[in-house]
Structure 1
Amino acid sequence: MTAASENWTIASAADAARARALLARLTAEAGVPALDRARFLTALGGRLLRGLDAGATELTVTTGVGRELRVALGGPEPWRHTLVCPSPVPGPLPRLDEAPLAEALLGADEDAAALLSSLAETEELLRIHREELHQTNQGVLALHAELEAAALAQRELLDAERTARAEAEKARRLLTFLANASAVLNASLDHDDILRRLPELLVPEYARHVDVWIVDDERTPPGERAAATVTAARTGRPQHAGRHLAELPGVDDLPASALSPDRPLLCLPVGARTVQGVLTLAAPGDRFDPDTTVMLLELARRAGIALDNARQYEQHRDVAEALQRAQLTELPPTPGLALAARYLPATHGLNIGGDWYDAFPQPDGSVLAVIGDVTGHGLRAAVIMGQLRTALRAYAFEGNGPARILTLLHRMLRHQEPELYATCAIARFTSGEPGVVWAAAGHPPAVARGPRGEVRVLEAKPGIMLGVPMPYEYEEHTVDLPAGSTLALYTDGLVERRSAGIDTGIDRLARAMGALRTEDLADLDAAADSLLKPMLHDSEHDDDICLLLCRTARV
């Protein structure tokens, strides 16, 4: 039998009666027992009447493949019901207007008669059961003691179930705390931040007091340590110190500590490969719970991994920072040109990048001022920055100008480091000439301040970034720079913020340059510091910052 469906619109009580009569006929022909049929029709009739209060509703009747009859009622209270019939529902399904109202009323009486007959049979069965119950009353009394025993056993089972559920909930809570605490510890790569967060996580729920002792670390505050703490550091095994044996899993018992005679101590070694220190917890109550202790042992292990990661991160950062600062040039004395530079690492993440500045004389006596930025952060960026700086100096000592130097650097980087890019700007100052020759490779524009305070941005379009996989020849630009002028070269970390575009930062730098007085520029180092203050008022920057100021001497 294929599926069939019919939609009936129920707009009045008469429609509801017809729908009930049609469904009564269908279910009767499909062999649905009278009692099930009465329950179904009663439930349907009540919902049809409530649906009429909201207006017309749609009743969808569907016969599926097999013996299913599905009814779906729309309206403000949707209702769906599936009736599995003993026999297939005969088809096709009738329309609503095919059920005369009189037939609907008589059909309801037939259903009531069938129900009454069923009730009469039930009453007869109840009478027979009453007689049987009366006859077996003495037997029930004899079984009373056994029922009490069964009830007691059931209560014991329920108590055991409650205990099991409580233990499961406790385990869930401990695992959730462990997962959340691990996420907090692993989110930080700062050694001191991890040490600060441990007590915040554990007090007061899991410990009344927490002490973190990092062995051979001068940053750990000095203080008197419990004997159990020292033993845990020496043996690498967790220790419990209290007046009574705790017999905690995986933990050795020691006598109560003189530093905490009334409250037990739990001393947990911390370390990934070796013992770095000990986490000492004073019990939040009279004793430590065994299940909680297992969780604390795992937390101490994970804290050791987080501390080890932070230590490796700091070592990597220190190496990169030392390498980068070793390659930042000590600015040379240059007659007729004052120089000042500043380098600030990023305040977030691995705060060492590929920003650099340089200044040096060429064989013909001119001075090159250089600013650059290698993409990325970390040790690799610092190493590539050093290679570019060395290559740039070599090309410059061959007598090449700014544009030719950038072209050679682009060619070198494109072939040696095809997945790495850099920006760079070079300005050449020649004694006796009022202008400056410059070229840029994808670098932010320089900002020039004239001797009378007028400020302009050198907005000539720069060339592509160094290392972009395509051949490119860079162009030189010449701009007048009268004596007493100041040229600011910088990396994008000075002017770019997540909350604003780079153009906004360049405008702010230009305003800061214009706000400097002539007497402020007499000390160029102090002027560099004054220039950074309005640019870094928020104290937070996601990238390295390099600033190189070049001031031509007044005649």
Structure 2
Amino acid sequence: MLRRRPARSASADDLLSTLGRLTAQAREGAEKQRARVELAEALQREMLPAALPGVPGLRAAATYAPARHGLDIGGDWYDGFRLPDGSLAFCIGDVQGHDVEAAAFMGQIRFGLRAVAGHAADPGEVLSRANDLLVSVDCGLFATCTFVRFDQAAWELSSARAGHVPGIWATTDGRSGLADDPGGLPLGIMPGESYPVSHHRFATAGAFVLLTDGVVEGPSFPIEAGLTQVTRLVSANADRDPATVADAAISVAEFTGHTDDSAVLALRFDAVPPEAG
């Protein structure tokens, strides 16, 4: 009868050697991950605009909150710039995925939108051209986005959405709601996609807020509840400066349990000027 030989007991030196090797591997992995996070954070900081444009009667402000655990950085962005015809463009978006690749893709989208908008002021056309550009790159990522154009002469905001969270509006006379306008697919999925354009004209002073889903949605927090909370806060602060409106809106992210990064872009507008009416 054959008997199984008892397993050889590992010596203390063997155990310490193994523990040391595993510790070194873990440290190396942690350092690589930390380096990737730091690189993504640096890309994020450099690619977000230092300032947003404005005109008399319309001011803009934005705020960004990094991921809670430092690993989901790089997905959200916002931007604002002047167009060749004198109007203002603002956009906000969220890239699928995170880390360095998402941060780099976010930069491509942001600068791609700027380039396209220089030749096509219509928000729907801007998103359509940007979408075709991203599809042609075929990088395997996609992004949601809202692009708006403010026409100072008409005192009108035109907007188009690519699979993004609806905007929120509130006026100083107590009215508020969602700008849940029709939209198209996220950018980078299907070529030839069209994006309907909606128009909003402001007869009363107030605020218009764009945000990412990290503000309003969490694992056990439905997006409808988050949008309701943000709408209430935007309405309560509609007569204040845009930075205060943006800070009030992004505070909802503290209650959703979302670990993603989040961004808010707030436009604070006066009533329609007499010359525009």
* Cα distance between partner residues in 2 of 1:303 and 1:539: 35
Pick from 170, 178, 181 the counterpart of residue 457 of structure 1: 178
1:510/1:310 CA distance change after superposition, 3 Å: same
Match of 2:244 in 1: 526
User: 1:552 aligned to 2:269?
Assistant: yes
Match of 2:76 in 1: 355
SS in 2 for 1:427: strand
SS in 2 for 1:428: strand
Pick from 486, 494, 509 the counterpart of residue 230 of structure 2: 509
1:487-539: CA deviations, max 9, x gaps? 11011111111102222221221122223262xx13x2233223322x03348
How high is the TM-score relative to the length of structure 1? 0.46
Checking the alignment, whether the CA contact within 8 Å between 1:354 and 1:377 is kept in structure 2 is: yes
Match of 1:13 in 2: none
1:19-38 maps to which residues of 2 (within 5 A)?
none
Pick from 135, 140, 144 the counterpart of residue 414 of structure 1: 135
Identity of aligned residues (%): 33
1:259-278: CA deviations, max 9, x gaps? xxxxxxxxxxxxxxxxxxxx
Pick from 11, 25, 48 the counterpart of residue 305 of structure 1: 25
1:160-205: CA deviations, max 9, x gaps? xxxx97x87xx4xx8xxxxxxxxxxxxxxxxxxxxxxxxxxxxxxx
1:297/1:373 CA distance change after superposition, 3 Å: same
Q: Structure 1: which amino acid aligns with 2:246?
A: A
Could you list the runs of 5+ residues in structure 2 that have no partner in the other structure?
none
Match of 2:52 in 1: 332
Aligned pair count reads 267
Report deviation, 1:332: 3.3
* Cα distance between partner residues in 2 of 1:464 and 1:407: 10
Pick from 188, 210, 217 the counterpart of residue 467 of structure 1: 188
Report deviation, 1:330: 1.8
Pick from 339, 346, 349 the counterpart of residue 67 of structure 2: 346
Pick from 139, 150, 153 the counterpart of residue 429 of structure 1: 150
1:339-397: CA deviations, max 9, x gaps? 11111121236221221100011111111110011111111111111111111111111
Report deviation, 1:542: 2.1
* Cα distance between partner residues in 1 of 2:192 and 2:213: 25
1:447/1:384 CA distance change after superposition, 3 Å: same
Pick from 4, 15, 21 the counterpart of residue 295 of structure 1: 15
* Cα distance between partner residues in 2 of 1:398 and 1:471: 18
Report deviation, 1:326: 0.3
Q: Structure 2: which amino acid aligns with 1:499?
A: S
1:407-461: CA deviations, max 9, x gaps? 1011111111262211110111111424311001101100001122311101122
1:355/1:536 CA distance change after superposition, 3 Å: closer
Return the structure number with greater helix share: 1
Checking the alignment, whether the CA contact within 8 Å between 1:338 and 1:553 is kept in structure 2 is: no
1:301-355: CA deviations, max 9, x gaps? 2111111111111111111111121010122342132111111121236221221
1:315/1:539 CA distance change after superposition, 3 Å: farther
Between 1 and 2, higher relative CO (CA 8 Å, sep ≥ 6) is seen in: 2
User: 1:446 aligned to 2:167?
Assistant: yes
Checking the alignment, whether the CA contact within 8 Å between 2:93 and 2:144 is kept in structure 1 is: yes
Pick from 85, 94, 101 the counterpart of residue 380 of structure 1: 101
Match of 1:276 in 2: none
* Cα distance between partner residues in 2 of 1:347 and 1:330: 23
Checking the alignment, whether the CA contact within 8 Å between 2:78 and 2:263 is kept in structure 1 is: yes
Q: Structure 2: which amino acid aligns with 1:367?
A: L
Checking the alignment, whether the CA contact within 8 Å between 2:123 and 2:147 is kept in structure 1 is: yes
SS in 2 for 1:325: helix
* Cα distance between partner residues in 2 of 1:292 and 1:401: 72
Checking the alignment, whether the CA contact within 8 Å between 2:209 and 2:246 is kept in structure 1 is: no
Checking the alignment, whether the CA contact within 8 Å between 2:144 and 2:164 is kept in structure 1 is: yes
Q: Structure 1: which amino acid aligns with 2:248?
A: S
* Cα distance between partner residues in 2 of 1:530 and 1:390: 28
* Cα distance between partner residues in 2 of 1:517 and 1:413: 36
1:167-246 maps to which residues of 2 (within 5 A)?
171=9
Checking the alignment, whether the CA contact within 8 Å between 1:413 and 1:466 is kept in structure 2 is: yes
User: 1:315 aligned to 2:35?
Assistant: yes
Report deviation, 1:483: 4.7
Checking the alignment, whether the CA contact within 8 Å between 1:402 and 1:439 is kept in structure 2 is: yes
Checking the alignment, whether the CA contact within 8 Å between 2:165 and 2:212 is kept in structure 1 is: yes
Match of 1:401 in 2: 122
1:361-376 maps to which residues of 2 (within 5 A)?
361-376=82-97
Checking the alignment, whether the CA contact within 8 Å between 2:234 and 2:248 is kept in structure 1 is: no
1:113-128 maps to which residues of 2 (within 5 A)?
none
